Chains A and B, each alone.
Chain A
Amino acid sequence: MSQTKDAILQDIYLQARAKILELAAMFDRIDAGSDGEQPIVTDTRLQKLNRSLTILSQDGENISKSTKAEQIQLIFSRSYDPDWLETLKPAPRQNA
């Protein structure tokens, strides 16, 4: 990385501002849905979006070595079972 933090911030500030505003407007659109006050907080998609926003608001110096992008990717990922070969039992032909 050849740029300083300040230079990067200067570079991306307006883009980040625009994207955060776009996100805010998306959540406003959900709130303004035609079913009014009916809460949808139990919807797992909304829960994943909210967990992602929590990651975004964490201080980058104090979180683990993985990037925020990686942590958010994992929120939207199905889990991996290391024993999947035993449970799924794929059956390739021996003479394939």
Chain B
Amino acid sequence: MEYIDPHIHMVSRTTDDYETIARMGCVAVSEPAFWAGFDRGSVDSFRDYFRQLTVTEPARAAQYGIQHFTWLCINAKEAENVTLSREVIAMIPEFLDCPNVLGIGEIGLNKNTKNEATIFMEHMELAIAHNQQILIHTPHLEDKYQGTRMILDMLNDQRLDRNRVLVDHVEEHTIGAVLEAGYWAGMTLYPVTKCTPQRAADMIERYGSERLMANSAGDWGPSRPTAIPDLIVEMRRRGHSNDLIRKIVFDNPKKFFSQSKHFSLLNR
């Protein structure tokens, strides 16, 4: 089955992974800007990173017939450095016209601090000013519930179209509030710290398939770039229709991303 991975960090994956996910049916990936595993020291580090996301990765993905899209921001962890964050936010418009840029992301909270909230709001202003979609990171583990609720408070702005906002890494205790507020929700298939394919299938059965998608969030840590095929197998095993499975892994991300002027899938 063809699928889209709506959240994966291919800069930290090998070329073999592109080949593997292509063989498993992946036709497009969307890669939000994130933390590199260390705090970067200057705005030029981010400028180079954004060149990697807008030039290098699309070319690497294309070798395997995969379309590569991206989102730009300074992530929540480095947002603690407000001065650097403001320099990065001021530089982002240089890249917004690149043909694979879908919007601003993954912005969010990490430890739910004042500085993180300040920079989250400034990213929101950037997205509004440039009519960009938003992809949101919600915090990990014990910080997720509090941070997700704080993010929903900050998003409560009449200038934002909720249908153009994706709130990622939802789990059992946050998915309801996100969907009820009218946002898109993404389930991240990280077996230990986030969600298994089985629990994702449970949430689909409980909340339905509207505005819901799944991602691998594959990165430099323990993660599986093939997590979406694992979800497909789990849903098939439970007897769900191909139409429902396809809606979660292909139609929904396509519908959400298509709100960006830079998104279109090649005819196959």
Q: How many residues of A contact B (CB 8 A)?
A: 24
With A2-B238, A77-B145, A96-B86 given, is the CB distance from A85 to B153 under 8 Å?
yes
Q: How many residues of B contact A (CB 8 A)?
A: 33
Q: Is B143 a contact of A73 with CB atoms below 8 Å?
A: no
Question: In the complex, what residues of A have CB within 8 A of residue B145's CB?
Answer: 73-74, 77-78, 80
Task: Tell me the interface secondary structure of chain B in the complex.
Answer: helix
Q: Is A89 a contact of B114 with CB atoms below 8 Å?
A: yes
User: A59-96: which have CB < 8 Å to B?
Assistant: 67, 69-70, 73-74, 76-82, 84-85, 88-93, 96
**Any A CB within 8 A of the CB of B144:** yes
Q: Which of B120, B173, B238, B240 has the most CB of A within 10 A?
A: B173
What's the Cα separation between A91 and B121 when bound, in Å? Answer: 9
- A90 is contacted by which of B114, B125, B126 (Cβ under 8 Å)? B114
Smallest CB-CB separation from A87: which chain B residue? B114
Q: Is B117 a contact of A93 with CB atoms below 8 Å?
A: no
What's the Cα separation between A74 and B126 when bound, in Å? Answer: 33
Smallest CB-CB separation from A69: which chain B residue? B172
Question: In the complex, what residues of B have CB within 8 A of residue A70's CB?
Answer: 172-173
Q: Chain B 107-146 against A: per-residue CB contact (8 Å), 1 yes, 0 no?
A: 0000011110111111001100000000000000111111
Smallest CB-CB separation from B85: which chain A residue? A96
With A2-B238, A2-B239, A96-B89 given, is the CB distance from A84 to B142 under 8 Å?
no
User: B45-62: which have CB < 8 Å to A?
Assistant: none
Q: Is B118 a contact of A90 with CB atoms below 8 Å?
A: yes
**Any A CB within 8 A of the CB of B159:** no
Q: Which of B119, B120, B142, B172 has the most CB of A within 10 A?
A: B172
**Any A CB within 8 A of the CB of B171:** yes
What's the Cα separation between A35 and B142 when bound, in Å? Answer: 28
Question: In the complex, what residues of B have CB within 8 A of residue A74's CB?
Answer: 145, 173
CB distance from A77 to the nearest CB of B (A): 4
User: A27-74: which have CB < 8 Å to B?
Assistant: 67, 69-70, 73-74
- A78 is contacted by which of B121, B142, B199, B238 (Cβ under 8 Å)? B142
CB distance from A24 to the nearest CB of B (A): 20
Q: Is B172 a contact of A67 with CB atoms below 8 Å?
A: yes
Question: In the complex, what residues of B have CB within 8 A of residue A2's CB?
Answer: 238-240
Q: Is B172 a contact of A73 with CB atoms below 8 Å?
A: yes
Question: In the complex, what residues of A have CB within 8 A of residue B118's CB?
Answer: 90-92
Q: Is B199 a contact of A92 with CB atoms below 8 Å?
A: no
Q: Which of A1, A3, A90 has the most CB of B within 10 A?
A: A90
Pairs of residues from A and B, 9 with the lowest C-beta to C-beta distance, nearest first:
A90-B117, A77-B145, A96-B122, A73-B173, A92-B121, A80-B149, A70-B172, A69-B172, A90-B118
Cross-chain pairs A/B with CB under 8 angstroms, 10 sampled: A1-B205, A67-B206, A77-B142, A78-B112, A80-B146, A85-B153, A90-B114, A92-B119, A92-B122, A96-B121
Besides the known contacts A77-B145, A96-B121, 6 further A-B residue pairs in the complex with CB atoms under 8 A apart:
A2-B238, A2-B239, A3-B239, A90-B115, A90-B117, A96-B89
